[in-house]
Chains A and B, each alone.
Chain A
Amino acid sequence: MGAGHSHLLHRPGHSPVHALPPHCKIAATFGFVVLVVATPREAMWAFGAYAVLLGAVAATARIPAGFLLKRLLIEIPFVAFALLMPFVAEGERTPVLGLSLSVSGLWGAWNVLAKGTLGVAASVLLASTTELRALLTGLQRLGLPSLLVQIASFMIRYGDVVTAELRRMSVARRSRGFEARGVRHWGVLARTAGALFIRSYERGERVHLAMVSRGYTGTMPMLDETAATRAQWAYAAALPATALAVCVMGYAL
């Protein structure tokens, strides 16, 4: 979390997509992904249509294709898995480039690849147009328990503080000539972890004290009441609504 709360995926901007309330975007993304997953894998053209839809969203959000493609790399482990499927799956076989591959495996691989890629691309789009903090408040508005949201917010806020503490402890260790080299030194590292836990725990108590002193009674006041307007909902719904049309046609044709 080096660069502010603009996490790794976030790309600040002022496009209409950036400006949408986070809960609208989360709901739209979720709806889109559900529809993609529900589409029969035989309707290959439908996945092309989905990709075009996402391309349109990316263009509206002014997210360059290169940025998006680079973030899609998270997907690579799934791709590897998908590529294995035609080789290992059972059942009817078909020759492809001189290799005998499983038909159901090929369909399976296509299914994983197409749906996975679309799902990841949609999530990357959401993440690159929404700040981490806004994602959390969006989830809270959509009914995620406030306690979970609080915990996640504290992780964002204190991630750096704890990391800095850890770094200071490591500097202190090394200044006294200690380098962790192998199993013999794990004891020292374990004690560091213990000390870090105690420090974090004590910090937690002091933070709690400071919160109570400012009137905290157990629930976080909901700031930034970004109630979405009907127009914003409609705008966000454009993506899942079009996807629904595609999905229905996928079944019909």
Chain B
Amino acid sequence: MNHTPANPGDATPSLEVSGLAYAYPDGHQALFGVDLTVGKGERVALLGPNGAGKTTLVLHLNGILGGGVGTVTVAGLPVAKQHYAEIRRRVGIVFQDPDDQLFMPTVREDVAFGPAAAGLRGAELEERVRAALDRVGMADFADRPPHHLSFGQRRRVAVATVLAMEPEILVLDEPSSNLDPASRRELADILRSLDVTVLMVTHDLPYALELCPRSVVLSEGVIAADGPTQDLLCDEPLMRAHRLELPFGFDPASVAVA
């Protein structure tokens, strides 16, 4: 099942992973040659059971993990030590637990952290922070401490912290986990309104269907399937083979996707 990116004619893809294999220092091999291309402006869901290697793959995208076989390039720039600063500006990772992501005493300082580390100061920084908070609808909370926000608000601020770096690609690890239905929908609206490339790691199959026209299945360290999300979700043997289960009563074929 091969699928070409949305804009095949468009210059460099946002993300190109090729032949990526990785074993943890304790010898456990988590990735066995992953190939994945995400075109500019695409929204792709990365599906896979627990322990499939999704987080391991994500941590390779900005060079937190490395040293295995294969290459990763972000908008043409290879992920290598001499480019880490630029790579980390280009790849915005939203981690699963917003309490890990939001480590500054106020929302504003937290959103400013990334751009400030990249050297932005003064009015320009101020403007960047305001714009990022606006995009997630959290501008009124700039001076609040993160731990006084609701979980859904914290997740939105976490998204703002990486948007403030104007990334080439936004990577979200389980963005819908622990969200109540309203917060889940608000986040979906925000993600849909952004015009950046998105790679979304998730177990939440309806969420993937709602947001991502294309999905890839990572299973046992390799890409097992790649195609339109609806086609993959309707492929029952495939889903079962990779421990991907739809919620009770959910029929992916009945959903009209844009």
Contacts and interface: CB of A to CB of B under 8 A. Distances in A.
Contact of B118 (A158, A215, A222, A225): A215
Nearest to B62: A213
A207 B146 CA distance: 14
B101 A210 contact: yes
Given A156-B105, A157-B103, A209-B64, A214 B148 contact: no
Judged by DSSP, the binding face of A is helix
B117 to A, nearest CB: 4
A207 B100 CA distance: 5
A157 B88 contact: no
A216 interface: yes
A209 B144 CA distance: 24
B122 interface: yes
B64 A215 contact: no
Given A157-B104, A206-B100, A209-B95, A4 B64 contact: no
Contacts of A211: 103, 113
Interface string B153-188: 000000001100100000000000000000000000
A160 B145 CA distance: 11
Nearest to B105: A133
B93 interface: yes
B16 interface: no
A212 interface: yes
A223 B103 CA distance: 14
Nearest to B86: A215
Nearest to A3: B148
Interface centre among A207, A216, A221, A224 (most CB of B within 10 A): A221
Contact of B93 (A5, A153, A213, A223): A213
Nearest to B122: A225
A78 interface: no
Contacts of B37: none
A5 B145 contact: yes
Contacts of A221: 112-113, 116-117
Interface string B102-142: 01111001001110111001100100000000000000000
A122 to B, nearest CB: 25
Contact of B147 (A133, A161, A214, A225): A161
Interface residues of B, number: 35
A160 B147 CA distance: 7
B43 interface: no
Interface in B61-94: 62, 64, 85, 88-89, 91, 93
The number of chain A residues touching the other chain, given as a range, is 20 to 34
Interface centre among A160, A209, A214, A224 (most CB of B within 10 A): A214
A201 interface: no
A154 interface: yes
A174 interface: no
Interface string A132-167: 010000000000000000000110111011000000
B95 A210 contact: yes
A223 B114 contact: no
A223 B112 contact: yes
A214 B100 contact: no
24 contacts: A4-B144, A4-B148, A5-B106, A5-B145, A133-B106, A154-B103, A156-B105, A157-B103, A157-B147, A207-B100, A209-B59, A209-B64, A210-B93, A210-B95, A212-B88, A213-B64, A213-B91, A214-B88, A217-B85, A221-B112, A223-B109, A223-B112, A223-B116, A225-B122
Interface of A: 4-5, 133, 153-154, 156-158, 160-161, 203, 206-207, 209-217, 221-225
Given A157-B105, A210-B100, 15 more contacts: A4-B145, A5-B106, A154-B103, A157-B104, A157-B145, A203-B99, A203-B100, A206-B95, A213-B91, A214-B88, A215-B88, A215-B89, A215-B114, A217-B117, A221-B112
Interface of B: 59, 62, 64, 85, 88-89, 91, 93, 95, 97, 99-101, 103-106, 109, 112-114, 116-118, 121-122, 125, 144-148, 161-162, 165
